[in-house]
Amino acid sequence: MIKIVKSWFTLLQDEFAKDYFKSLQSFLGEEYSCATVYPKEENIFNALNFVPPDKVKVVIIGQDPYHEPGQAQGLSFSVPENFPYPPSLVNIFKEIEDDLHIKCLPSGDLTRWAKQGVLLLNTVLTVRKGQANSHKDKGWEKLTSKIIEILGKKKEPIVFMLWGSYAQSFEPLIESQHLVLKAPHPSPLSAYRGFFGCKHFSKCNQFLQKNGQTPIDWK
């Protein structure tokens, strides 16, 4: 079940040994054997496997994976090549284009961001088919809170994009050397209340450049 790169495993091995994670593993073993669960087991930790801890420049916090067939990749907000964009991703691309005056690539696969150091982290890493939040409060939040805490204590400045009140609840784990960007969630229900026009993507790149890092190509 733990298919994770060594650098992250080393940082999180104490968590993996705790009772809550052992209970979570037992729960997931039953779920994967008796129900349809997303993403595939080998993709659960994709967000971490694409971005080693020392390469994280930006953290975008999501909630739980997409729960329709074929969508979930283990990266928040991302869908595989040739899939229709979910509504939140439509709005993310719209804000990027308005903010940076660029045209985003015609793909919802955000692996291209992850490879540049953008950690696309859902706080719950699995979900039952067709049942949003079905794996909420099973233990994932303890692990992902620890990940955010570890990154929040790093000396090297990181940009944290916290969209919506749920993501913003993790702000106390983030120390002051980092840039915390807050806005409403990009879903159609809230994007017009301040996500559009937040200019997080240009602010992020300005901060990275100011701190001697290469900006993200958000296309």
Instruction: Considering the candidates 64, 98, 137, 217, report the single residue annotated as catalytic.
Output: 64
Secondary structure element (H or E) that encloses residue 128, with its range:
strand 127-128
Q: Is 64 a catalytic residue?
A: yes
Tokens of 85: 């964009």
What 174-181 contacts at long range (C-beta under 8 Å, 24+ apart), as own/partner pairs, is: 174/148, 178/152, 178/154, 179/203, 179/204, 179/207
Query: Pick from 116, 104, 72: which is nearest to 204 by CA?
Result: 116
User: How many C-beta neighbours within 10 Å does residue 178 have?
Assistant: 18
Q: Which residues are tagged catalytic?
A: 64
